[in-house]
Amino acid sequence: MDLKHLILMSVLTTAGCSSSHRGGELPFDDYPVCRGEWEEMLYSPSSTRFSLWAPTAQEVRVLLYEEGQGGSAYTMIRMEEGDDGMWKAEADGDLNGKFYTFNVKVGDVWLGDTPGLKAKAVGVNGNRAAILDMDATDPEGWEDDRRPAMQAFSDMVIYEMHHRDFSIDTVSGIKHRGKFLALAEQGTATYLGEKTGIGHLKELGVTHVQLLPSFDFATVDETRLDVPQYNWGYDPKNYNVPEGSYSTDPYRPDVRIREFKQMVMALHRAGIRVIMDVVYNHTASAEGSNFERTVPGYFYRHTEDGKLADASGCGNETASERAMMRRFMIESACHWASEYHIDGFRFDLMAIHDIETMKEIRAALDKIDPTIYIGGEGWAAEAPQLPEERLALKKNIARMPGIAAFSDEFRDSLRGAWGDDSKGAFLVGLEGFSEGLKFGLAGGVAHPQVEADSAGGPLRDWAGQPSQLISYMSCHDDLCIADRLSATLPDASADERTALMKLGMTAVLASQGIPFIFAGDEVMRSKFGVANSYASPDSINAIDWRNKTAHRDLFDYTCGLIAMRKAHPAFRMGDAERVRRHLKFLDTPSDNVVAFRIEGNPCGDAWANVTVALNAGASPAAVEVPEGEYRVVCRDGKIDAAAGLGMVKGNVLAVSPHSALIVHQ
């Protein structure tokens, strides 16, 4: 019996429920692997070539359509089986503007139409792939687009946003509200003159915007954009195509592609790089997915009893360790980096993926540009179907150079643990969380002054380099920080919460890790107490741009912190040994005060002996320092890194309650 029939028997008897060899089944690891080019559609004016990797198929067809939805196929082409499980066909003539689907027959059953695994252009709602010349989608000036200069990952300041949240408010003054083009408009402002859109980002000073999922996802009906619809986009449908609801015309395949490129180009011209949130760990559903309608069972992990594994908490988990899923992920990331000039990737539930796949993605992106960033969540919703030592878990990050992970230790030590919004931590003056704070301030690397555990739970120095730790206190997931402070301190005044917000921002932006800000936190954004707002209306999710006027003081303070960090490499040393050698934690009068000194002037900084003190307590704190004269640049909720806020002499720094003090020599 040949390999083809062994594979087919495996599919017919078990639907591919395990990657191990059980009961005579052919393991998924023995499926043929495509070694050559893997392009499902190659267009030229004279002909279009189609190919599909479907090693278990008995037959494969390509169906051609005039439109992206509705109507019947005007022709059907039978594909021929080639090497390595690839099926091929060619259609003569100029098919530019037509649409196509594949249909695969397995076990005498036609699985149903699919745009394929690697469609790069689709019609409305992504059910049919489109035939077009990708070069024709480039906006004017695209060939001159360049990534903004960046020396090291430690230089980054990330700003996470959702397309719709950031621009949908009518006060924003943005024409293309909720669209890709909102980030390409220039000179937008509120009626009070406050900058919005790309002008706001430039004013804030961030180096990277991190976009929530922007590929084609399943839950927004692109034919009904007259009806308000909302989703974060963690329900992938077509991984290599921009989401149509963020374009001005989802029916035209070229429009969403061109407008996405216009957005990237505008951000690049503003000096801002673009990170894309990618969700390779699961699909919107397994049943009926492009994966399952092409090679049933192969792209997903299963439990021992044959059921779909669910480490994502979304009904399925993909199998990154399998050769063609690994190749799919690598080539998808490279497609976004090359075709769309994307500058970085945030991997959703990265710990579902295996270490080797993540390292190969890093290596492939290095060949394009080694400054392309990779970061992700170093955890999963449930235990994945691989041993821990093979998974891209947070604790294994040191084994993946050039890849970062979010520090929930730092987050929880600042604001309180996930799952109980009433409980605070360091920011609200509680003791027992200083070690978690120190852990994050040191960038998560082994440091002789950071203890093994704290009230927030055991600590592990998992980062090999400080740029492998993402320091943050809130993100799209869970309560934004203003709402968390309101839940934790319901009786606190607005001024008190603003002071604590400033204190938290100081900790994040003074960390040796990569600082990360959730969009709107800099203007005291509220989601009105809704944590998991993935499908909440605009009234919950939209950034209220009037807040920029109401909380201008907080915004200016955040701008000052970012400017200080960018100007002074002492805050971003970028090397574990340098951090251990120069960053020294100081004795403080209580556990709700943390202070550190960056001794000397590492990295050639013009500031020497930078000292940062964070006082979360309700009383003034005295922190002892070496005798000397110090210039104050941050005090009592004010910051001026250029001119300073005065001088202090002696060996004691007086730090006001609920505030940060930053001085240097």
Annotated catalytic residues are 348, 377
Helix axes 494-509, 552-567, angle to 10 degrees: 10
Distance from C-alpha of 14 to C-alpha of 408, rounded to nearest angstrom: 40
Cβ–Cβ < 8 Å for 657, 618: yes
Query: Which residue type occupies 22?
Result: R
Q: What is the DSSP string of 315-359?
A: S--B-TTSHHHHHHHHHHHHHHHHHS---EEEETTGGGSBHHHHH
Helix (H) or strand (E) holding 87: strand 86-92
Residues 6+ apart with CB under 8 A from 440: 407, 409, 410, 413, 414, 469, 471, 507, 511, 513
Residue 39 has a CB neighbour count (10 Å cut-off) of 12
Cβ–Cβ < 8 Å for 663, 632: yes
User: Phi-psi category of 631—alpha, beta or left, where left has phi over 0 and alpha has psi -120 to 50?
Assistant: beta
Q: Tell me whether residue 279 is exposed, middle or buried, using C-beta atoms within 10 angstroms of its C-beta: 0 to 12, 13 to 18, 19 or more.
A: buried
Burial call 395-411: b when 16+ CB within 10 Å, e when fewer? bbbbebebbbbbbbbbb
Cβ–Cβ < 8 Å for 292, 266: no
Cβ–Cβ < 8 Å for 42, 48: yes
Cβ–Cβ < 8 Å for 13, 63: no
Residue 538 has a CB neighbour count (10 Å cut-off) of 15
Report the DSSP pairing between strands 638-639 and 647-655. unpaired
- What does R_g of the chain's alpha carbons equal in angstroms? 26
Residues 6+ apart with CB under 8 A from 546: 171, 190, 192
Number of H helices, E strands in the chain: 14, 28
Cβ–Cβ < 8 Å for 504, 515: no
Backbone dihedral angles phi then psi of residue 548, each to the nearest 5 degrees: -65, -35
Residue 609 tokens, joined:
């002996």
Longest Cα–Cα distance of the chain, Å, equals 87
Distance from C-alpha of 106 to C-alpha of 13, rounded to nearest angstrom: 12
Q: Which residue has the tokens 């990237």?
A: 264
Report the DSSP pairing between strands 215-217 and 158-161. unpaired
Distance from C-alpha of 655 to C-alpha of 637, rounded to nearest angstrom: 11
Cβ–Cβ < 8 Å for 578, 602: yes
- For residues 402, 406, 409, 410, the Cα torsion angle rounded to the nearest 10 degrees is 90
